[in-house]
Amino acid sequence: MSEVEKKCLELLITEGIDVNSEIDFDVNNKMHTLSFKYIIETFMQASKESQLVFLTALKKSIDAKDMGVDRFFEGMGQLLLMTHLSDKIEV
């Protein structure tokens, strides 16, 4: 586990946010469920710079309070799903 990933998880735990919280996404009538932890782990496979951008955005979403974290993970989850699904599209 990278230091940035540890910091992300620690931020959530410190704020009392369950890292195993899940978000459901409906893609073409098929449900996909992603946990906050899974989203973090997946983004931590990116470059160091991208990891730091993710951490900074997570901090800002926590500072925003009122649904900031939920919206952040909703957006990151959508990005993961779009990337995953676009890799499977044949042209």
- Domain segments of the chain: what residues? 3-87
The stretch 1-8 carries a mean pLDDT of 93
pTM of the predicted protein model? 0.86
For the cut 50, the answer to whether the pLDDT of residue 90 exceeds it is no
Q: Model confidence at 91, in pLDDT bands (50, 70, 90)?
A: very low
Reported as a single tens digit per residue, the pLDDT across 22-78 is 999 988 888 989 999 999 999 999 999 999 999 999 999 999 876 789 999 999 999
Count CA atoms within 13 Å of residue 66 on its CB side: 1
Q: Measure the CA–CA gap between 9 and 69, rounded to whole angstroms.
A: 13
Hey, which residues does 25 pair with through a beta bridge? 32
- Give ∠ CA 19-14-74 in degrees, rounded to 5: 40
Asked if 24 and 35 count as a contact pair (C-beta separation under 8 A), the reply is no
